[in-house]
Structure 1
Amino acid sequence: METTHASTGTSTDATGSRLLKAANGWWFLGDGGVARLRPAQVSPDGVLLPAAEQYLQDAGLYESKPFSSYSLTVLTSTDCNLGCGYCFQNTAQDPKGGDRPPRIAHSRLTSEMITSVLDFTRARMTEGGFRKLAVMLFGGEPLLNPRGARELLRRAADLGELTASMVSNGTLLTPLIAKDLSAAGLRSVQITFDGDKDEHDAIRVRRSGGGTFDVIISNVAKAMAAAPSLRWHLRVNVSHLNRHGMDDLVERLAGSLDTARCGLNFSLVGDIGVGYGNELAYGGELAQEFARWHARALDLGFAVSRPRANRGCQACSYKDGKYGAVVNADGVLSSCWETAGRPGWEVGSIADGYLSHEETEGRWISCSDQYEYGENAVGLSSFQDEVDAILLDQLNSSGRL
């Protein structure tokens, strides 16, 4: 067991555990849970002392829990009706300066491909001894192929106990689609916002032109009424273009949607090699703003995800694909949803399985790599640790931890 060390006040050790500097003491985040540590349990230079480490081990906070289900992400369509400039499925910025950036190749999930995807998944689940399946509907925009999304969920239920989620831009969501997908096993939907109305409508734009804020809010509200069992995760992308509208956005979302059924989180957005830049400087002032937005969200009844240890993603953190897979609509395997459909990043196919480790060297990207931020990766990690420490303090003080 490596001793957890925090040379800058925050760190992650080889086990994935994290040690974050709190307002008064430290937070330890392990795979087995979270613990508040007194200042005396950590050395002045941020080293977890042996007695404290032993206490955490005895309490089971270092224990790694086995994955309970196989994770399957499927792109039902690689197309998208929006032209967001930062999208990792763009291949460049719009050369004409508009809202039609070139994208990855067109592909659409068919009934025949669903059969192949499920055959592949069944074999992986049998090999891994999984009786549960977690499916994520992904794109492009998955609702450009609602029939494929419904069919995939209905048929996937034959493989085992099903939990299903979807990442959608929300512009094509209707009450009927929400009701049908919910009946087919969908349990949660992630919707993205790019700041308050004016900023969002300048960033999250239709490829045909025009903003999307009002229609997304309206569609989600109607879908909530049509499918009462669905949970909603609202992700807010933060950049220098929308930072100053976040306080108003939180109030507007709370006034328009049922906060008791929504989670709300803020995330930085950056460049993944398509020419998009985020000019925000990481640091204490921005971390305090993130903390204020999350605190207000909690006050208004939103759920906020509790910071956790860096366990890694089931699909992309294990190069043998033992615990999960990301499958494009054409059956090509990628290591991560960030590289799905991108030429040159293939790691295999459902027909032939995964390529060897030698063949995927340099192509296997993990969510936790933060490769899109390049030389800013260290600064981003420290910033996220600072935000997470403040959020843990807030959750603890409010009795929600």
Structure 2
Amino acid sequence: MSVVETAGPGLSRIARRLSGGLIAMTTAGTLLQVVVIAFLGHLGGAALYARSVYLPFGFLALALTEGLVIGVQVSTARARREGRTGDAGGVLTVAAGAGVAGMLGLAGLTAACAGPLSVLFAVPAAERAAVWTFVVATLAAGAIALLPTLVGASLRGCGRTRTAGGLAVAESVLVFGAVLAAQALWSTGPLSVPVGFAAGSLPVLAAAAGLSARAGIRPAVPARLTACLRPLWTIALPVAGSFLVLALSSSGYLRLIAGSGPGAVAGFGLGQSVQTFLIVPATAIGSAAALALTLHGGPGDDPLRLLLRLAVPAYLAVGAAVFVLREPLVALFAGDERVRAVAVDYLGLIGPSLALLGVTLAVLTYLEQSGHAPAALLLNVTFFAAVLALGALLGGGSLAPHTLIVLIAVANVPGCCCVLAAARALLRRPEGRIA
């Protein structure tokens, strides 16, 4: 028997309302990353190359961050539904401690392994000092930037997505202002980025903590550590695993095209970065659907129909816009002709498949936040392992950027079909019903 027959119009309205704040939040973060890339691009090719090398490490940081953020959000939503919102404070405290320790540990490990990593990523000797200083400093700054993000996740779990979105907008403005101030006052170059993230996040942390306390969530030493670790183990770990897969796949992609030179690597990294920004709303749609069903749903609601109703129209428009505007979009971020050529090629080929990719990510996000995170992790592992294996077979370990881009674009078609089929099978099971 099907889990659901239809997602009612009322639930769709709730999901759209929740997604408004989530999209504001993710759009603010997206625009911040866009202007940061533009800032680095106009500093010169070396700065943009440093960020391209940072991408795999950024995915590792994102794995840790998003795993903890989703763990806090989902555990808070469940506690809210069950009338025990105050219990979420212990989870928030544990997540904050784990996040800070993890980010600083990742920064230290990267610094210690800079030599072997330079060989692995074929970083030219003249660029090594600047590249690894930027990577390590950005990871360390992430330990501070993580804290307001976690507090915002607790607000989202209470259904206060608009408040969380407002905080994210304020943080983006403050961070970029701090980046520009650091460059104007001290000429810190690429290091303006980690300085700006650290400085801009602190006032937002204070505001977020106050708003969270008003919602009944205050950081506290957990009375039962096991109870606080359980949601981080069952939710955060598989979510972090999915982002770790992204990190490994990004490293694999860079390794496959490393022989094409720094310009091609920077262009491919730029294309990936723009794609990442464009698909962020898909995660907001999946998250809004999960929150709506957790806080307001019942056994007769169809998650997949709700997700398709929200994601398909949005990503048909996004895919068309990317294809038409790819050249002026890339021109905003880079002046180097080789970098621009590869990035334009990337968006021109990937753009038409964004409708499928948006649906795929919305469904995977829903699965991660509704008790099926291990299944989402397995689907991610299967997809990226297949793409990397095919890439290695096609090029004997080395590919031209254009060939790899075509492979990724084509793979989005069976990827979407498989995710939809797997999700339908999971949600037909009795345990897939909304509890």
Task: Give 1 or 2: higher strand fraction.
Answer: 1
Bigger proportion of residues as helix = 2
Q: TM exceeds 0.5?
A: no
Q: Taking CA–CA contacts closer than 8 Å with sequence separation of 6 or more, which of the two structures ends up with the larger relative contact order?
A: 2
| TM-score, scaled to structure 2 | 0.25
